[in-house]
Amino acid sequence: MDAFIATAIIGTGQQSDQAISTGTPVDALAEQLEQSSTERKLLLMAGAATVYHLAGYTAHTGLEIPTPAEAERLPACSPEIARYIGSMLEEKQQELLPEFLAQLTRSELRLPFDLLFPALTYGTRHKDIREALIPTLGQRGQWLGQFNSAWSWVKEQNDEPSEDIETQWQEGTLAQRVQTLYRLRAIDADKARLWLQEVWKQEVADARRKLLATFAVGLSPADEAFLERALDDLREGVRVTAASLLTRLPSSALVQRMTARADTMLSYQADDLLKDAVLSITLPEEIDEAWKCDMPGLKSQDATRKAQWLKQTLAAVPLKHWIERFSISLADLTSSVKKSEWHSEIIESWLEAALRDNAYQWILQLLNCSWEQAREIGQLDAAYYQHIIERLPQELAERSIIHFMTLRSSWPWTTLPRWTMSLSALPKPWSKDFSQWYLQELKKHAQGLLADKKWDPDWYQGLELAALSVHPSCLDQAIISWDTTDNIHFYGEHLLENVQELVLTRQHLYEEFKAIEKSPL
């Protein structure tokens, strides 16, 4: 057949008059052709050979079937729920995906098979959704993940601890070894520390940092010696991690050293006559190497360096130390700082200390101080407060926001901070009480805006946040019929439509889940 094709490619005009052959029974048929030119013969033989090969197609062999997927342990969600989630996986209303993947898991349901490919594709593009997605993939999704290297995250994040945990530690990938060490820290922190000590010198910097971070689980004074040595590591990331962990051990030598240094910086003086008190701040001109080593990650060598020393040193000291040392309440302590040029640095440090030590009873007072000061100077760092809100338990976070929003009404319009950044830090869904309060505030605020035809991006963004976050029992209230004729900003109309659709989608989905009656709202 090769010679036949070669003849066709080169051309019969270039070949000497030789017999052409396909090497198939078609050649015998060609013998029966009437007087035909070589070209005609070649063409007819090519056509007949095509039919011959089509009719005699030989199927492939040697194909191995993979081991089939295991039987599912959970039922699939309803087609209605699947349709909504399918849309979200196509990035329509995808903001709702974390909420309803979690609801699927709570309801002990999984995604239907025809959503597995879109789900794996979405999870590959969006790392942050993987943790919520994996429990909904079922056995089939786990099975499917093995066929595409881009989906290896399914197995990595879902790997059951190997019976031979030590083999996993010795031979796994870095991600697997970190997971192994986290698990071991929860069961036997001393053993985990020993394992890490044995391999410490061989590990590269990034591995050291990640493995050391596992000490956050089961942290105890027994870890102090290892962490103190890690403070001398060549890599800054390792030193920062070590210092951060040591500050969580109030009895550690690092905390003792920082407390002693902080004691030299702060002094408290009460004036009983004037019924006033002042916290004096004395900062050194320079700090020694030992002090610098206890504060890894220091960047600035310029005028702000003193502020950094103050902040990092104070942040390492438990807040209750000052209350006990000066024998005063937190209210008196924060009041004494008001006139200091270092007010904001001190409050920030104390906030950091309170958050680290889970001293939630003081957070609201400290936040209040911070906001009061921000109002005085007409400037508020919304990103910073968002970071604080993210670290609070939900109830305290919501209370803080209510308090802030109450204060906010006294702020001048031109310096009004973006409050929606803090709202977006709240875990979803919001509590019922907070949802009801927020929706009432929105309505009040909206009426004013619409009456004055003002454009307030915070309000619209807040409305969108509410649509995504209000408690499911408040969704009816969130379907607000705004009287917007002629008053609404042209961009706002589009946003309101989107908001309504988000609320309706959430409402429909919760009704579907309720119908299944597996999980209470």
Partner 1 sequence: MAPDKNSVAAGKKLGNTKHWSNLGYNAEALWGECQGSDLYQVRIELSSLALSCSCPSRKHPCKHLLGLLLIAAETPSAIPEQEPPTWVREWLEQRAAINERKTATEQKRQEQQADDPNETRKKRAAKRQTQVEQGIEHLDLWLEDLVRNGLGSLETRSTAIWEQQAARMVDAQLPGVASRIRSLIAIHNAVPDWPIRLLTRLGQLALLSQAFQHIEQLDANLQEDVRLMLGWTLEETEVSARGEHLSDNWLVLGQIQEETPRGRTQRTWLQGEQTQRSALLEQFAATGLSFSKVIPTGVCWQGTLVFWPSASPQRALIEAHSGPTSSITDALPGNATIEEFCKTVAATLARHPWRYRFLCTLCTVTPVFDQATNRWYIRDKQGQGLPLKASEGFWQLLAISGGHPLDLAAEWDGEFLTPLGFLSEGKYHIAERAA
Q: Which residues have a Cβ under 8 Å from the Cβ of 376 and sit 6 or more positions away?
A: none
Kindly state the smallest distance separating residue 10's Cβ from partner 1, in Å: 5
Q: Which of 17, 28, 35, 63 binds partner 1 (CB under 8 A)?
A: 63
Q: Nearest approach, Cβ of 26 to partner 1 (angstroms)?
A: 10
Residue choice 66, 251, 285, 289 for contact with partner 1 (CB under 8 A): 66
Out of 40, 229, 494, 518, which residue is the one contacting partner 1 (CB under 8 A)?
Answer: 40
Is 490 a binder of partner 1 (CB under 8 A)? no
Does 37 bind partner 1 (CB under 8 A)? Our answer is yes
Give the count of residues interacting with partner 1 (CB under 8 A): 56
Nearest CA to 155 among 142, 171, 138?
A: 142
Stretch that binds partner 1, among 43-51, 195-203, 270-278, 339-347 (CB under 8 A): 43-51
Q: Is 245 exposed, middle or buried (0-12, 13-18, 19+ CB in 10 A)?
A: buried
Contact 95, 468 (CB under 8 A): yes
Asked if 68 is part of the footprint of partner 1 (rule: CB under 8 A), the reply reads yes
| Stretch of residues binding partner 1 (CB under 8 A), selected from 61-69, 232-240, 386-394, 404-412 | 61-69
DSSP conformational letter for 419: T
State in angstroms the smallest separation of the CB of 429 from partner 1.
21
* Longest distance between any two alpha carbons in the chain, whole Å: 131
Query: Which of 16, 28, 35, 60 forms a contact with partner 1 (CB under 8 A)?
Result: 60
Binding flag, residue 29, partner 1 (CB under 8 A): no
- Using CB under 8 A, which of 83, 191, 229, 444 touches partner 1? 83
Q: Interface with partner 1 by CB under 8 A: which range of 66-74, 313-321, 345-353, 513-521?
A: 66-74
Q: Closest CB to partner 1 among 200 and 482?
A: 482
The Cα–Cα gap between 43 and 47 comes to 6
Residue 205 or 515 with smaller CB distance to partner 1: 515
Residue from 46, 287, 298, 405 touching partner 1 (CB under 8 A): that is 46
Report the distance separating Cα 228 and Cα 217, nearest Å. Answer: 17
Cβ–Cβ < 8 Å for 389, 354: no
Tell me which residues in 126-185 interact with partner 1 (CB under 8 A): 140-141, 143-144, 147-148
Residue 306 CA to its chain's centroid (Å): 34
* DSSP string computed for 317-385: S-HHHHHHHHT--HHHHHHHHTT-TTHHHHHHHHHHHHHHTT-GGGHHHHHHHHHHHHHHHT---HHHH
Contact with partner 1 (CB under 8 A): which of 45, 315, 319, 446? 45
Q: Does 56 help bind partner 1 (rule: CB under 8 A)?
A: yes
Question: Helix (H, G, I), strand (E, B), or coil: what is residue 58?
Answer: coil
Nearer to partner 1, 41 or 445 (CB): 41
Q: Are 214 and 185 in contact (CB under 8 A)?
A: yes
* Closer residue to partner 1 (CB): 7 or 105: 7
* Site map (CB under 8 A) of partner 1, residues 197-236, x = contact: ----------------------------------------
Closest contact distance (angstroms) between CB of 105 and partner 1 is 20
CA 159 to chain centre: 20
Tokens for 295, please give them.
């504060």
Q: Are 253 and 220 in contact (CB under 8 A)?
A: no
Name the segment binding partner 1 (CB under 8 A); options: 38-46, 191-199, 271-279, 291-299.
Answer: 38-46
**Residue 279: beta bridge partners?**
268
Q: Does 74 bind partner 1 (CB under 8 A)?
A: no
| 14 interacts with partner 1 by CB under 8 A | yes
Using CB under 8 A, pick the residue from 18, 23, 25, 47 that binds partner 1. 47
Residue at 487: amino acid letter: N
Stretch 89-128: interaction string toward partner 1, x if CB under 8 A: -x-x--------------------xx-xx--x--------
Cβ closest to partner 1, residue 86 vs residue 98: 86
Between CA 101 and CA 133 the distance in angstroms is 6
Helix (H) or strand (E) segment spanning residue 124: helix 116-125
At closest approach, how far in Å is the CB of 192 from partner 1? 36
Rounded CA separation 471/3 (Å): 77
Q: Are 487 and 453 in contact (CB under 8 A)?
A: yes
Query: Smallest gap, in angstroms, from Cβ of residue 68 to partner 1?
Result: 3
> Distance (Å, rounded) from C-alpha 455 to C-alpha 75?
48
- State both tokens at 404: 């802030």
Coil, strand or helix at 70: coil
Please, which residue, 125 or 191, has the CB nearer to partner 1? 125
- The residue among 168, 174, 113, 172 whose CA lies nearest residue 144 is 113
Q: Which is nearer to partner 1, 5 or 331 (CB)?
A: 5
CB of 148 to partner 1, least distance (A): 8
User: C-alpha distances in angstroms, 439 versus 376, 404, 445, 464, 494?
Assistant: 29, 16, 10, 11, 20
Binding region for partner 1 (CB under 8 A)? 5, 8-14, 37, 39-40, 42-51, 54-57, 59-69, 79-80, 83, 86-87, 90, 92, 113-114, 116-117, 120, 140-141, 143-144, 147-148, 504, 508
